[in-house]
Amino acid sequence: MRKAKIYMPNKSPMQSGRGKSNKWILEFETRDPTRNPLMGWESSNDTLSELILEFSSKELAIEYAKKNKINVEIIEPKKRKIVKKSYADNFLK
């Protein structure tokens, strides 16, 4: 049985917006990783580890995994803590 994880990606550190972060990702784990003797990189003969599936909701991703008999680990997104501050607060302390 294949192993995979379902998660919602974080926003890119190169942007301030949250674009393309509302999708759920199903990503397969690598089976039998080996080291490339020439370069020392991690490699594998498993092509499913390169596959990343995007879903519009968590329920659709779970349904797909059950339908294809994939053992999944669901990683819930962390809640963002938003602190509202005024620009003037930078100069008051």
Quote the pLDDT of residue 38.
Answer: 87
What angle is formed at CA 71 by the lines to CA 21 and CA 5, rounded to 5 degrees? 25
Q: Quick: pLDDT tens for 8-38.
A: 988 777 777 777 678 999 999 887 788 888 8
The domain locations on the chain are 2-92
Q: Quick: pLDDT tens for 46-74.
A: 888 888 999 999 999 999 999 999 999 99
Name the percent of the chain in helix, strand, coil, to the closest 5.
20, 25, 55
User: How far is it, in rounded angstroms, from Cα 29 to Cα 8?
Assistant: 16
Report the CATH number of the 2-92 domain: 3.30.160.190
Q: Is the pTM of this model over 0.95?
A: no
